[in-house]
Amino acid sequence: MGALGAAALRGLWLVGWLSLVVHAWAAWSRGRAGKRLRRAALWAQFFLAALACASLVVLLVREDARYAYVAEYTGPGLPVLYRIAALWGGNAGSLLFWTALITLYGAVMAWAQPRDGDDRAFTWAGGVLSAVAFAFATLLVFAANPFVRLPGPTASPVSASGGLSPLLQNPGMAVHPVDVYLGLTGMTVPFAWGVAGWVLRLPEDEWFPVVRRWTLVAWSFLTIGMLYGARWSYEVLGWGGYWAWDPVENASLLPWLSATAFLHTAMAQERRGMFRRWNAVLVAVSFWLSLFATFLTRSGALWSIHAFASSRLGPWLLVVMLVFAAGAALAIARVWRSLTPRARIERVLSREGGVWLNNLLLLSALATVLCGTVLPWWSQLVAGRSLTVSAAFYNAVNAPLFVCLLLGMGLAPWLAWRQMKRDDAWAWIARAALFALVMGLATAASLHAVYRRSPWLAVAALTAAWFVIASAAADVYRSLRSAVSSRRGAARADRGRGSALALWLWLRAHRRRIGAYLVHVGVAVCAIGVAASGAYHLEVQRVMRPGAQLTVGRYDLTFTGLGVTPGQRARTLYANVLVARGGRVLGVMQPSATFYPDGTPPLTRVAIYSEPWSDLYLVLLGTGDGGSAVLDAHLNPMVAWIWFGGEVLLAGSLLCLWPKTLRVPVRSPLRRAAVAGTVVLVILAAAGGTAWGAPRANTRPSASARADMRVPRLDVVLIPAPVRGVMDVVERMQVTNRGSEPRSIRLALPGDSRRVTVNPGHWRWAGVQGGMKWIEVAPGVSPGATAAETVTYTVPYSAAGTALSLTTAYDADVIRLFLPEGGWFVSAEGLLAATQTTAMGGTAWRVYTRLSQPGGVPWVVHVATMPHPFFAPTPAGLPVLGRVAGAQVDVWQVMGNLGWITAVIALAAWGTWSSRRRSRSSAEDPGEHAGG
Amino acid sequence: MVAGLSGLGSPRVRLWIAFGAVVLVLCWLIRTAVIHASSYYLTVDELAKKGQAAVGKPWTVSGTVVGRSVRWSPARETLVFDMQDESGHAKLHVVFRGPKPDDFDRGWPLVVTGTLRADGTFNAQQLLVKCPSKYEAKSGTYTAVN
């Protein structure tokens, strides 16, 4: 299978060459030659890239550890979904996936090209697509081949976390990289058609709609990709919330900003022939920025939380970037003079003026983000010292820009070409503004009531966002009212059907406008979420003993005890936190930590209870004595609005992509079935997307169950009955003497410990102090040597757990503690470095840690050994609230995302096909063309 | 509003005025933000070489965690550790108040932003850990069997 993949990769490179030659030949003969051959070359490239991907996936799923890539990114016990996701989990694999996506776009373009007639434009577009795919195939074959075999047969590591880092084993891994890659590679398509248009100086309506449509495709993939990434980052502790202005995040934001700018000016070019030079620049810049993003991610040139490899790809990618930048510059320079605007801006308050201002603001944001991202290089070059900016820089500059953008978006519905829309536009703007002011202030006031602050910029952003929503709604209302009333007159015979038909006709006629409004409203809803969660926030950390209470905003939290989920691969320690609001119990939240037996550090799993007005975000930071937990509770307002806004935005972009004619472009039943399948996938996408956007993981108790759950049940349900017993504690210590002479270990045993046995002659009683029995163990080890000592004692335990203190004067490397069956390592106050638990012959658990303390200063270590009955199970009868991050793979989300991807690409291809047919027939009939 | 602007000539002039205004405001915003939110980016070794001159100023320092030195006190929510860079000449003692990121103790690279105190301790306000093995697996995770 690996040989097949490697062969497919080499084939891809060869076919890439052939494709370039065929396209060049066809361009030479003005598009008449090799029509079938060109199409076949594009299809073959996709086929070979897909074959290589499939081979790698098979290797990953089968865990064929003879291949370096497989050995690095998989391990036993890794779920199948993450094995597949490991395709884009590593450098070489993700580059292969990237190349496959470019060839996918090539194949789709070949499909969307009508088979008859003149296709000079496609000669160049296909040529550019082939060239980009060929460039990446070259990198794959010569610099980052995923099919490299290891020198000898290998044994895969026994890794409980399964090779792929546990942090990456998150549902986000199955969707976020795919969408971002689709977005970044998708910028190639508009660029390819742009080059074709510029080089051949074709009439604009032959190629420009394709550029606009496919920019929209790439743009919507980038948007959803960034949102998925934001959500993933939000659910993982320590990744800085949903957006950290990390260089790689910025790298995907940059082409998104330029593409957004282009989508607005493209409208002005289509309708009024304006911004023609500017649009050419934006198309090229968006493509170039997507290459720049690849460079940033893979060159190791900048530091990022997305762990760039300092791989060999950097110089290669730089060459690719320079070649395409030079090519684009030449192509644009060739047509620069002919790209004169056909109209000028007549009034500032017109759609043209609005688009102009929109571009100014977006490009300002782009410049800011770009400056901040490359500042470390630039300052090194200019001043010789590397200067970085923090997230505060980006926020300070971008926040005012985005408030202005929102205000502009609010005005947008009232701007027509050349002038303001109607006579009564100002009256409507005043109404919308008044509504926005009321809603903005109300939102700010309700936030102030909980969070006790009112930053003016956040209040301005909230008001501006409400203005966008109010304006769009008002214009839709006006437009719909007039459409329905005029139609109703015509179909007076059947009023109900008349209205429905009118609505349908109206939606069809205005789909792009309604789509754009939906996108604007989605952005505004996201903005509300970002402004609220960015400016208002509550955070409390507390060490809580069982039964302790904590109030966060309107929520009352009661910690009732720790619990353990047993497992072969990993065990999860969770805290039961009872959540109540207004005296009513809502349920239990279980923030947790997963421990792996192989030494992989424990992974914290955040519990999030999401409601429209706030997210309750609980983190189990650690545990303390007596079964206490260190909890970190956050109240993040309105975060769910960001995800919901994303859904609205997606619906809007789908509507914008809906082709003008709904004619199915095929006659054969098989192809019609394919179209029907696409429709089903669209529905799946909608369903999956809704499932993703909705806070569905919040299992809400039924109304009757809620009535049952008035507070008094607390004591009954949650505190487990005390369990008493006796256990043997066996501590085996391996102590390395790193000092100059042997010293003794002071070991504190629980005050009620009995039957102490240690190697005779190696220990003596040191007395009783602070409720502990102290012994001194002196193994008599010479410097540099290691001694093993076994201390056994019996202690009674109770529900309060058993704590063990250990003081060592040694510079000890490893201390191993053998705990009784079912014992659980809980607390590590002062116990540091690696902590591991390992099954030992099915009878005991081993916990050990590395200690290092220069200068012989004693450490005090508390280890609680807690048998199972100590832990409180999930309280019966209460629902578990909130999503626990990364706990399970969400099949709906993956299916929904796949459906959505298919829907977007299919709609865009369909639209391209029909528009290309139209433009071809209109080109054949100049009269119709002039009339259009 | 429209009447007020009509004295300023053609729409082109007005748009260029708007352009100038936005660019000026942007430059001012960037300047203020850079002054408040920027810090010099150094390795541990470079910071050590600065000696007393570095005390009291904001820095962004990159390096790797010295795995054994990590001390995490959940009750006080304080993370204390040493970091060093590839050269390994100097160590920086860092104190960070905040949650301990997962996967912290493997000696993976991180970046801290904060100020250096006179006693040589680095007070970190922000701590960023690389997300592990996104593009490169850690070396030595697989072993050859003869």
CA nearest to A236, candidates A188, A165, A185, A302: A165
The total number of residues written for chain B in this structure: 146
Q: What's the rounded mean pLDDT across residues A191-208?
A: 89
Highest mean pLDDT among A256-270, A732-746, A841-855, B91-105: A256-270
Report the b/e string of A571-590 with b at 16+ CB within 10 A: bbbbbbbbbbeeeebbbbbb
Q: Which amino acid is at A404?
A: C
Cα(A137)–Cα(A13) distance, integer angstroms? 6
Question: CB distance from A449 to chain B under 8 Å?
Answer: no
Nearest CA in chain A to B21: A360
Partners of B14 on chain A (C-beta within 8 Å) are 348
Residue entry with tokens 């709906």 = A892
Highest mean pLDDT among A180-189, A290-299, A737-746, A898-907: A180-189
Cross-chain CB nearest to A307 (options B38, B73, B130): B130
Which of these ranges, A241-255, A820-834, B42-56, B62-76, has the smallest mean pLDDT?
A820-834
Query: Rounded to a whole number, what is the distance in angstroms from the first to the last CA of chain B?
Result: 83
pLDDT at A145 over 80: yes
Partners of B109 on chain A (C-beta within 8 Å) are 303
Residues 6 or more apart from A432 whose CB is under 8 A from it? A410, A467, A470, A471, A474
Question: CB distance from B7 to chain A under 8 Å?
Answer: no
Flag whether the ipTM exceeds 0.90.
no
* Burial class, B18, CB count within 10 angstroms (exposed 0-12 / middle 13-18 / buried 19+): middle
Q: Which amino acid is at A701?
A: P
Q: How much is the pLDDT for A31?
A: 65
Strands (E) across A601-744 are located at 603-605, 607-610, 614-623, 629-637, 725-736
- How close is the nearest chain A Cα to the Cα of B120, in Å? 17
Show which of residues 85-104 on chain B sit within 8 Å of chain A, judged by CB atoms.
99-104
pLDDT grade, residue A691 (50/70/90)?
low
Q: How much is the pLDDT for A679?
A: 72
Cα(A642)–Cα(A839) distance, integer angstroms? 44
Show which of residues 628-647 on chain A sit within 8 Å of chain B, judged by CB atoms.
630, 632
Say which residue, B108 or A811, is predicted with more confidence. Answer: B108
Cα(A411)–Cα(A42) distance, integer angstroms? 44
- Hey, how many other C-beta atoms are within 10 angstroms of the C-beta on A500? 14
Say which residue, A77 or A574, is predicted with more confidence. Answer: A574
All structural domains of chain B with their residue ranges: 2-37, 40-129
pLDDT at A43 over 90: yes
In this structure, what are the phi and psi dihedrals at residue A53, rounded to the nearest 5 degrees? -60, -45
pLDDT grade, residue A366 (50/70/90)?
very high
Partners of B113 on chain A (C-beta within 8 Å) are 390
Question: CB distance from B6 to chain A under 8 Å?
Answer: no
Q: How much is the pLDDT for A658?
A: 84
**Structure tokens of A570?**
């990993």
**Structure tokens of A252?**
């995907």
- Hey, how many other C-beta atoms are within 10 angstroms of the C-beta on A524? 29
pLDDT grade, residue A261 (50/70/90)?
very high
Contact A577, A589 (CB under 8 A): yes
Contact A850, A834 (CB under 8 A): yes
Q: How much is the pLDDT for A858?
A: 39
Best CATH choice for the domain B40-129 from the list 1.10.10.10, 2.40.50.140, 3.40.50.720, 3.40.50.460: 2.40.50.140
Partners of A368 on chain B (C-beta within 8 Å) are 26, 29-30
Partners of A364 on chain B (C-beta within 8 Å) are 22-23, 26
Partners of B145 on chain A (C-beta within 8 Å) are 152-155
Contact B131 A306 (CB under 8 A): yes
Which of these ranges, A602-606, A756-760, A883-887, has the smallest mean pLDDT?
A883-887
Mean pLDDT of chain A: 76
Q: What's the rounded mean pLDDT across residues A476-481?
A: 86
Q: What's the rounded mean pLDDT across residues A342-356?
A: 86
Highest mean pLDDT among A111-115, A209-213, B47-51: A209-213
Mutate to test the interface with B, among A168, A361, A387, A397 (most CBs of B within 10 A): A397
Q: What's the rounded mean pLDDT across residues A283-310?
A: 74
pLDDT digit string (tens) for A675-685?
777 777 776 66
